[in-house]
């Protein structure tokens, strides 16, 4: 199954959930990217409002996270931002908590991997202790300086039991415009359900520069491979026009399904 929706509600989630649902989307990601602005009571209200819409909710935790920081206080602050997102997610019924896990900062990749793995395990222990029904989903990142290529996150999932978020645009930018979808799909297919992001993307020699409007050609390419490999996936569109692009993706998916039956 392929579910599609935007990153964000275009305003207050409690006020805009009816509007979002009317777009025909089946998912939406709550954006805490610049801070966890919602309290638990409002998160509970959002869950109640969503009972009639049945949107698949997820959360993007704040950008200011580095579980491999050299300073312990920065790791502690990062953990708090993730756990605050997890707490709100539990109360609103958002299962997947997306975040950028950390940076290499010119260190050995295995050293950074082990640091992040240790923190993810500790976070999962706290989640279990609190009884929160959420799953950590560290995201594939768009720059080579950031922790989070696809192989690292698949390994992290296997070794800790966390989930992952596959940002297909980030993978493309990280590899300077090249993406081998057969390779990507063959790696994620055995993992079962996949939470993902997509948009147009601009990159430089260092990787991701900014998100762009999603081109039709790029949408068709991604959807064709998801259909080919029968991936069970939610796609959150992060383009600057994510409402329009989400609807465009939904329309194109339906057209592709019809074409496949002819």
Distance of CA 220 to the CA centre of its chain: 20
**Residues with Cβ within 8 Å of residue 15, at least 6 apart in sequence:** none
pLDDT digits (tens, 9 = 90+) for 139-190: 999 999 999 999 999 999 999 999 999 999 999 999 999 999 999 999 999 9
What is the value of pTM for the model shown? 0.96
Does residue 246 have a pLDDT over 60?
Answer: yes
What's residue 260's pLDDT? 63
pLDDT digits (tens, 9 = 90+) for 91-126: 999 999 999 999 999 899 999 999 999 999 999 999
What's residue 106's pLDDT? 87
What's residue 258's pLDDT? 78
- What backbone phi and psi angles, to 5 degrees, belong to 29? -105, 125
Angle between helices 109-130 and 72-92 (to 10 degrees): 40
Q: Which domains does the chain have, with CATH numbers?
A: 2-261 (3.20.20.150)
- What backbone phi and psi angles, to 5 degrees, belong to 157? -60, -45
Percent of the chain with pLDDT strictly greater than 90: 97
Angle between helices 242-261 and 216-228 (to 10 degrees): 50
- In the predicted model, what is the mean pLDDT of residues 219-238? 97
């Amino acid at each position: 199954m392929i579910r599609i929706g935007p990153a964000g509600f275009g305003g207050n989630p409690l006020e805009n959930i009816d509007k979002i649902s009317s777009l025909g989307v089946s998912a939406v990601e709550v954006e805490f990217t610049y801070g966890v602005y919602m309290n638990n009571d409002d998160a509970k209200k959002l869950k109640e409002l969503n009972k009639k819409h049945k949107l698949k909710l997820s959360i993007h935790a704040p950008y200011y996270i580095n579980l491999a920081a050299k300073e312990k206080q920065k790791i502690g602050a990062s953990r708090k931002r993730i756990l605050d997102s997890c707490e709100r997610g539990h109360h609103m019924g958002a299962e997947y908590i997306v975040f950028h896990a950390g940076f290499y900062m010119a260190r050995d990749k295995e050293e950074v991997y082990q640091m992040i793995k240790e923190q993810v395990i500790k976070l999962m222990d706290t989640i279990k202790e609190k009884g929160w029904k959420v799953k950590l989903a560290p995201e594939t990142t768009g720059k080579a300086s950031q922790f989070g290529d696809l192989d690292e996150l698949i390994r992290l999932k296997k070794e800790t039991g966390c989930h992952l978020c596959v940002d297909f645009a980030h993978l493309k930018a990280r590899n300077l415009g090249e993406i081998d979808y057969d390779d990507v799909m063959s790696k994620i297919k055995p993992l079962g359900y996949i939470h993902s992001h997509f948009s147009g993307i601009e990159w430089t020699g260092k990787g991701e520069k900014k998100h762009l409007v999603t081109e039709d050609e790029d949408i068709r390419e991604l959807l064709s491979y998801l259909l080919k490999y029968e991936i069970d996936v939610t796609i959150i569109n992060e383009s600057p026009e994510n409402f329009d692009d989400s609807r465009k993706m939904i329309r194109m998916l339906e057209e592709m399904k019809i074409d496949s039956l002819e």
